[in-house]
Amino acid sequence: MKEKPYSLLFVCMGNICRSPTAHGVFRHKVRADGLDALVTIDSAGTHNYHPGDPPDARSQAHAEKRGYVLSDLRARQITADDFDLHDLILVMDWDNLALVQEICPPQHQRKLRRLTEFCLVSDSPVVPDPYYGGSLGFEQTLDLIEDACNGLLRHVRRATGAP
């Protein structure tokens, strides 16, 4: 009998910048490493500001320059089912963490982590929101997410027993 894939959920505020970027970057890394069958990936927002919308055009454009596709992703709000469904819930900043902790059942609190805890190079405690900034903010967001996703891939390999 096949085991359930290891499931990750990336969470930011509106699910149109940081969390879909992390979703797309990590999906790309998982596919490149041939771990598709072992891992499922999703993203959501703490707020329901943009339900059904694609990621911010700036997020898509910056990600595409680095070879990541985000165009198929759609914004949604985190739900109670997400806490049961996912093995790891990765938030982008302290505010997202506080909001998710508030609604997370006690038995699932251990699943909550900041994405930047997995950074291998950067020591940033959070992935800052680039929404109101310029082009540099989106590039810095991608830099942090790529770094964290490299460390996260190591974690997932250990968690799934992948070579």
Residues classed as catalytic? 12, 18, 129
99 by DSSP, 3-state: which? helix
Reported residue count of the chain is 163
Task: Give the bridge partners for 124, in sequence order.
Answer: none
Contact between 137 and 57 under an 8 Å Cβ cutoff? The reply is: no
